[in-house]
Structure 1
Amino acid sequence: MNAIARLLGIKSTDEVDHIEMKFAAWWSEGRPVLVLLVCLGLAALGAFFYYRYQNEQPLEKKKRRRILLTVFRSGLLAIVGFILAEPIVSVSLTEHPRPILLMLFDGSDSMNLVDELSTEQADALDAMTPDSINPSEQTRLELLNHALKNGALSEAVGQLHEKFDVRYYSTDEGHSIKELGQQGETKALENDLTAEIQTTAIGSSLDELNRRHGTRHLAGVVVVSDFGQNAGNPALTSAEQLDVPVIATGVGPQEVIDVSIALQAPLVLKQDENTSLSATLRQQGATGSSVSIQLFQRRLGTATDAVLEAEKLPIGTPVVVVLEEGTVDVDLPYLPENSGRFEVIAEVSGLSGEVSSRNNEAQREVIIRDESLNLFFVEHEPTWEWRFVKEVFHRDPLIGHEGFRTFLRSADFKVRQSNDLFVDRLVRPRDEFFANDVVLISDVPSEMLTTPFQDQLVEYVERFGGGLVIIAGPRFSIGALQGTQLADMLPVVVDRSLRPKPSKFQLSFTP
């Protein structure tokens, strides 16, 4: 049975229960006796015709040759009949796949550090590989690559291949992972490990392994890292969700010291308006330590005013923060004094013995305007949405009372002329209309959207790149735009017959 299994390409780890011959032709399905009779009949027919009509004189004298040819032709006809029955070999087996063992290697830049080793530690590392190396001069990654190629660690990994289906992964950019190539016969790593990414996100990498292999026959996960996690989900929570043994193999010192900073800032700021930027500090092994955060800014160029390698200027005074467990959020005061494009940089002071200083800096690009954003709101009557939007943007420092203007069709013409909040007509002079940054059109009837206004709006969006927001309302709905130039600019197909349904509905793709 095992010999037949090997001929069929079945792995030795599979157990063959039984092998059965079946036939698929319409006349032979479920009729093995009929197939046997047909084969015997064809063989007999071949022998009859050969003896009856193939009686040449030379063969009459050589009976042995004549018998062999008769058997050959009879067997050939029997094989033809057997093939016409469309035979099928049905193999029933029980598969015993080898459990999968995942090995996750840290691909962050901290693996390129050279650790200060004691004499005992250096001797122990030197004994792990037969190569003549000086562990005190090797980075963590170089020591790991040496150990995986030769020595006790290489032999131990080789023994794992006999019991498990070992897969190699490395942490990658974007809190993801990448699978590493393996050699054909030995299944060892095809290339040396590399460490180029800036963050260590063990938890997010374990989550990705869970998504790829969580439903398969997973035996466990071996994580090789310095465990200086500075990004992503908590590693302990992700390891618990795997629900398999997770073996942590540490590289480097037992206690990792590291602090990182992330910066959040609005995309657009107003000149000479006090604001605050939000910085988030993450630390490891430095609870209770004090660090300082300093803000810098660097002017960036534009299409017409290129600024190369502008000087990084400090902003204000450093903010001192005491590190706590987990993350610490810090508000950094910021007063933009000049308009234009700037890169805002937050730097946190390093710690003694820190594994990497590359994550001690965070940048954000901001645009500082010397005037308010201009927003033009077109509405039919003072709805609740109109009142809400007006109040929100009046309080926004980037827009305020100066930047918000509205055309309200139901408003009295004299009110529109006397109140600075309103514009008296929908079609405005080109220099005034094109000075807007965003145009909002709410629940308006189609007759309100005159052809001159549509032409002006299309030119504003398509030629000058202006912003357009359409707010569908309950009175006229989006169907009021059908047949207008505005409908052609929308990412949906406008149908006047469509009306909101009071019952539940499901979104569907447009044709």
Structure 2
Amino acid sequence: MNFNLENWNFDTQSFNWLLALVCIFIGLFLSFKAWKRADKKRLVGFWEIFRIFILFLFCFTLFDPQRIEIVRSEIKPQILFLVDESMSMETIDINSTGQNLNSRIEFARSIIKHSLVKELEANATVIKQFFSSSKGKTRTNLHDPIQNSLSELKNLRALVMITDGDENFGPPAAQLANRLRNSSVPAFTIFTGSNQALPDLELERSWAPSFTLKEEKLIVGWRIKNSFPDTKESVLILSANDKVVKSIPIKIKGSERKSGNLSWLPPMEGNYRMELKIKNIKGESFSQNNHKKFKLRVDRKILKVLIIESYPRWEYRFLKNALQRDPGVEVKSLLFHPEMPNAKGENYLPAFPSEKKDLIKFDVVFLGDVGLSKQEMNRDHCTHLNDLITNHAGGLVFLPGRRGRQLSLTESPLGKLLPVVYDQGNPQGLGTINPAQFELTDRGMKHWLTQLRGTGEPNRDFWNKLPGFHWAAMVEKSKPGAEVLATHSNFSSKWGKMPILVIRHHGAGKVLFLGSDAAWRWRKGVEDKYHYRFWSQIVRWMAHGRYQAQQSGIRLLSDPEIPNEGDEVFLRCIVMDQAGFPLEDGQIEATAMHPNGVTEKLDFTLDPESTGIFLSSIFAESPGPLSIQVNELSENRKIRTQLSVI
């Protein structure tokens, strides 16, 4: 019980009264006895009165006296609500109504809209802020929002944070505990989300290019999460224009994720409405997260291929024949006969293109058993080939031969493009009496370049059944950044199994190394079925980037082609004049529209190392369609493209 007297407040509990009365009674009794023993002297009496006064003051403090002073301020206290809006807050696992499931962010928004929060606004300034991280919504930073609030809000009196606690970026928020305590700002946390994931199968992510070439397989990547405690089976279905075109069974262990790729060859060019979905199973909490939709454009392009070789070996003859029979490929050949004049005739080039502008017309170049010499290639040729791959998104295939001429290219500008390190001590390669096989690596089993088998036939078993090879180029190891798809089945170096099929991205283009010259033997018994399919897939895979976005003589390339939220996307704009040569003098303007509707102006700068190439970059701020438009002002041309941010 409290007693108020004007501006004073006292704690008048019964215990306080009892203790005070007992203390005063005992004090009076002892003081009277002491005064009486001193013959009731006046000085002793004054001293005992002083002692009783001190005792009275002590008893007075038992009632906790407080003087209350009301200070009216024109500035209202500030109460801050910090709401986590990172991607994890979109998880749907809250059943607050007992019927429908809500996401964590919806639950957080319902809290800040509550009637009790509105009542606080009568006497305080209520501030509501949403946060995630400086790298986008894929990460959560709890530290910086609290630190910024303490620095910027001068009259902060309370802080309420609504989050699922999934902190994975920035310094730990616990470092600010002492600062909150010293600032006398109480911090309250409201955690959202369920302690355990609700039973469900979820198609978390899917990624696919927005464009493919005719006769190029569409590769759709996927990742599925199983939130059930036990193993579940379902079917993954790919549909095009509402028609099922591919389906595969899937089996995922409890509380685990599984990812993979699904391939499909579009039958014709045109625009497709694509959908990837999981077949619903019994017991799922919700089914709206079982499908993803995207758009696909299939274009028919005539790909220009140049084959450079010395002697017309079997690999060269059957490769040229396979590509000439491909209706989507236009083949030119350059055959250096070292002891004879260069080959002449239909579809033959009399010499290596002397000008860079003549070479960049080709999408893919096959480089056979040739090297640096007066009769073959020089350093200028290598420099132009390097520029084609690095800056103009071309493709280069290394096909070494028994003469070992490619070893001389390691010291040329093409040495940077080689995805392997040649064994300089064995230029003529390795020959065997018994045939060796291509032994696929784990990466090779999944890559679509090696998908030559029929339906239902395991990829690894298929490659073991292909006719083998008796010769291979001697390689020490693959270079950093290269992907080894297959190794020699019988030979190993000190670095491990010898690479025989290797791919690598270099600049804007792609490079492939095939260390055997016996792919033509795959025709045995089946004619061109596998041999044709292999080289057809390689040519289209390597040329894909050049036609990602092409219009009116302008090519716009992005790296990566399918960016994640928060990624920096590097843009390369290749501008040609009306004659098809790189534009020497041009001016580029570009704008980008983000999925949230924000428009951004892009600054393209001329590449100092190559003519007609302009470079820029942009950050993929949020998931969804990112639209980019580039205008070339000198000839009034423009190109539009759309990237899918995941």
TM-score range, shorter chain: 0.3 to 0.5
TM-score (norm 2): 0.32
**Larger strand fraction of residues:** 2
**Larger helix fraction of residues:** 1
TM-score (norm 1): 0.39
